[in-house]
Amino acid sequence: MSQLLTNAHVATLDADNAPAGDALFINSAADVSRLVNAGSQQRNHAGIIIGIALGGVFLDAYDLGALAFGIKDITREFHLTPAGAGMVASAITFGAIVGAFFGGYLTDKIGRYRVFMADMFFFVIAALACAFAPNEWVLAGARFVMGLGVGIDLPVAMAFLAEFSRLRGRGNKAASIAMWCPTWYAAISVSYLLVLVLYGVLPAGYTDWLWRLILGFGAVPALFIIAIRSRYMSESPVWAANQGDLAGAARILRRSYGINAQVAANAGRHAPAAPARRASFSNYGQLLKGIYLKRTVLATIIAVASSFAYNAVAFGLPVIISSFLAQSMLTTILASLALNLLFAFVGGLIAVRWVPRFGAWNMTVLGYAFQLAALVGLGLIGRPADGLHAGLAIGMLALFLFGQGIGPGSHSMTFASLSYPTSLRGVGVGFNQTLMRASSTVSLFLFPVLAALLNTGVFWVIAIAPLAGLAALLTIRWEPSGYDVDAEDFAAVTASSSVRS
């Protein structure tokens, strides 16, 4: 056991705003991980870094959802065939698939900070190119580049959330990662609000500008993040220590945590039992071996099932509501916004608060149960014949979105991020996101086709997704919340950790 654990100390800040007090000596990467896991800190830079990482998630959601209300205007302006409209709509998802695969590797290879900052430029350039696109080819190409940014961002954002948060207690790693969910719904709601505002203020002759303004707005938060990066952002101390840069890790701890961390004179003399893996594409294969196989299977099923069901319902929400209520565009926007804010967003906030107490496994089971009940209810109701049945159908949509927020929507990333240690976290989330984005693409393609063929009977097909998620969870009882998975980088995997998996 390192001397660090018996002398753990959070330094007070002196007049020069530098850590003061007894020096805390680190001997290995394991010591750095334990300090971060302890979560005792006085400076708020670590919290700000988590907030900036969530800003990246906000961009992901905004850019993915920004086209929902504009595709009809784009189709009319560029005289698109159904195939052309499909190309424009799906370009971002194909970019996200490619970006997630390579982004996961780069996150582990060159570090969290470099990938994150490069990623922000993707968002700026692509958003501006979309806003000024002269034809469908430029628009589709810009959306593909934007998708690369979206795909790259999730692995690095999840790494930041996991590696700047404490292990247990309120605000632990699982809770920080779960914050991605309400952030996502907040971004979707902002896109709805922006559509609503522009819908009301643009003169009648300028409504064709609506989709360009909405897509171009995505550059604004990205520019803000770039502007403040030098003041607050830093590399993950755990990743830096894993690369053998203990001095760099100590500097990050001093700056972001206010801990007077110093590298011990004899640091490195005692090599860890299991040296951290070096980044390699072959690490994707490690996800399917040993204790990681079951975790990967579970995380993948949760992500794919969650994505398939959510995309089919949530991205089809305007169509579903308009068919139920047969109301105007304005009513559809307001109803979609209300459902997202009151149920999906609120459910995500509850998930953040409850996961340290109840665990990600229990919360995900509960969320899938709500979704299954909601989809069965929608299937039984069918097309509402009167106001009462329409109200029940809207209630079932609300239950579905609440279940998404409180369960798989929040914790799919918890399973993807906290099933692997630092050396595998980038490729772990990248692999998970690659398959999840593929599921999203299939879902977005199949939903309108199945809806046309089956009408409201499509809900019975969608119900297969939460049923599959429940089956996987009941078969593989892996709880990532509160488990020190990063320790697997520093010591031989013991029988006890095998039991946890």
Cα dist from 204 to 67, 201, 260, 321, whole Å:
20, 9, 61, 25
Taking each continuous run of H as one helix and of E as one strand, the counts in the chain are: 24, 2
Asked whether the beta carbons of 250 and 35 are under 8 A apart, the reply is: no
* List of residues 6+ apart from 147 with CB closer than 8 A: 91, 92, 93, 94, 95, 96, 97, 98, 99
Asked whether the beta carbons of 97 and 125 are under 8 A apart, the reply is: no
Q: Give the Cα separation of 111 and 105 in Å (integer).
A: 10
Tens digits of pLDDT across the chain (501 residues): 444 443 333 333 443 345 555 777 888 888 888 888 886 555 456 778 888 888 888 888 887 777 766 777 888 888 888 778 878 888 888 899 999 999 999 999 999 989 988 888 888 999 999 999 999 999 999 999 988 988 898 899 999 999 988 888 888 999 999 999 899 888 877 877 787 787 778 776 666 788 888 888 888 888 888 888 767 788 899 998 888 888 888 888 888 877 888 888 777 555 444 456 788 899 999 999 999 999 999 999 999 999 888 877 765 555 556 555 555 556 666 777 788 788 989 999 999 999 999 999 999 999 999 999 999 998 888 877 777 877 888 889 899 999 999 999 999 999 999 999 999 999 999 999 999 888 877 776 777 677 778 877 888 989 999 999 999 999 999 999 999 999 888 764 333 333 344
Asked whether the beta carbons of 307 and 61 are under 8 A apart, the reply is: no
